[in-house]
Amino acid sequence: MTTGSLRRVGILTGGGDCPGLNAVIRAVAKSLMVKKHISVIGIEDGFQGLIENRMRELKWGDVSGILQSGGTILGTSNKANPFGNPVMQDGKIVIVDLSEQTLKHIEKWQLDAIVCIGGDGTMTISRKLMEHGVPVVGVPKTIDNDLYGTDVTFGYDTAVSIGAEAIDRIHTTAQSHHRVMLVEIMGRYAGWLTLGAGIAGGADVILIPELEYDLDIICEKVEERSRIGRRFSIIAVSEGAKPKGGELVVSRIVKDSVEAVRLGGISLKLGNEIEDRTGLETRATVLGHLQRGGSPTAYDRILATRFGVGAADLLVQGRLNQMVALRGDQIVAVPLQEVGGRTRKVPLDSPMLDVAEAVGTCLGVTR
């Protein structure tokens, strides 16, 4: 595709909401409107809008004044998938391929390309659209920071800040009541969010999915702190953490979702085990969706804007079927084939782990 043939570009936000989504929408739309007078079509509720033909042309006023706003003006869905969409038939959830009608809707709106903003699930679906002849440019979004191909995703910095602030606030209660306080943090199967928030908040113990924890080591840490007069401990625990040889704690199964398994509850289980083992009073706080909400940090606003402008540049240059990414301090393009279906976890030799241990933080294992 040449620059001159690009006339109408669709844009959607898929998966869970995330601080910075509106900043990306703003940057993509304004860049295309200002530079090339290209029409931008907002697709409502992620891939659901493509499936159901719910779209609208975005005007300048639609994307002005939204830089600092949380959520997404387009809406989103973490259930919709054109290639395997859950629908209710005869009282049962059935997975149906709706790709044919989706492609017809794309053709009807004369979309020359689609900007897909999302995480692993969104990039996997984007890759399938690409394989069906739909030009796509991806923008990496997730508070979990686990998307392959980029050093950082937008939304992560905001979520880390929220997690760190929560730990800060928990400190005063833990210290006043001489308790072991567990703060359960999102992140699914990667520990970036818990590790970042735990270090920033000064947690005494940080537990992440990449390191299966030993309950004895955790109990030894909190008991040692109690013996030396530090009569409280803060444990930052990832929702995907689990004991050696143990299982993940699953809060529920959402059958009509692309991500059917919903993790949650490890802090409650672990807190009871610590209290039974040590006799120290414990309490657990599950942050949950608090980490997704609110206004993005300055860092995320800047990164999201850079990603949006970078995506617009790829479109104008005809460099399609790519995802914009941050490598070092540069915005680069990564082929979508390399991204979808892969998870970027915390490496076991990560300097972040060394930093945590250097200041006395217990990681629940002997390294």
Active-site entry in 17, 45, 112, 144: 144
**Inter-residue contact 123 to 116 (CB < 8 Å):** yes
Question: What type of residue is 360?
Answer: G
Instruction: Please give the Cα distance from 55 to 220 (Å, whole number).
Output: 57
Quote the distance between the C-alpha of residue 199 and its chain's center.
19
Question: What type of residue is 280?
Answer: L
**Token reading at 294:** 């609110």
**Token reading at 345:** 């976890």
Quote the distance between the C-alpha of residue 33 and its chain's center.
28
- C-alpha distances (whole Å) from 82 to each of 47, 193, 255, 323 are 7, 30, 16, 20
Instruction: Please give the Cα distance from 104 to 336 (Å, whole number).
Output: 23
Of 42, 66, 33, 58, the C-alpha closest to 315 is 33
Residue 214 annotated to the active site: no
**Inter-residue contact 151 to 367 (CB < 8 Å):** no
Instruction: Please give the Cα distance from 239 to 216 (Å, whole number).
Output: 20
Rg (CA), the chain: 22
Of 329, 320, 332, 10, the C-alpha closest to 135 is 320
Q: Catalytic residue numbers? A: 144
